A = this chain, B = another copy of it.
Amino acid sequence: MKEELKIFYHIFTTTKDAIEKFMNMLDPVIQNAIDDHERLYYHHIFEEEEQRLSRLVVLIPLIQKFQQEKEEKDFSPTNNEFNRLLQELNLEKFGLHNFVEHLDLALFRFKDEERSTLLNQLREVSYKDYQQVKAMLAEINGRFDTNYVDPHAYHDEEHDHLDRSATSAPTKATTTTNSRGMQPKKGFTVGSLI
Contact = CB atoms under 8 A, between A and B. Distances in A.
Interface in A83-113: 84, 87, 91, 94, 97-98, 101-102, 104-105, 108
Contacts of A57: 190, 193-194
A31 B178 CA distance: 9
Contacts of A169: none
B180 A31 contact: yes
Given A48-B98, A58-B194, A43 B80 contact: no
Given A41-B105, A105-B44, A182-B46, A54 B193 contact: yes
Classify the interface of chain A: helix, strand, loop or mixed.
helix
Interface of A: 19-20, 23-24, 27, 30-31, 33, 36-37, 39-41, 43-44, 46-48, 50-51, 53-54, 57-58, 60-61, 80, 84, 87, 91, 94, 97-98, 101-102, 104-105, 108, 149, 151-152, 161, 167, 171, 175-176, 178-180, 182, 184-185, 188, 190, 193-194
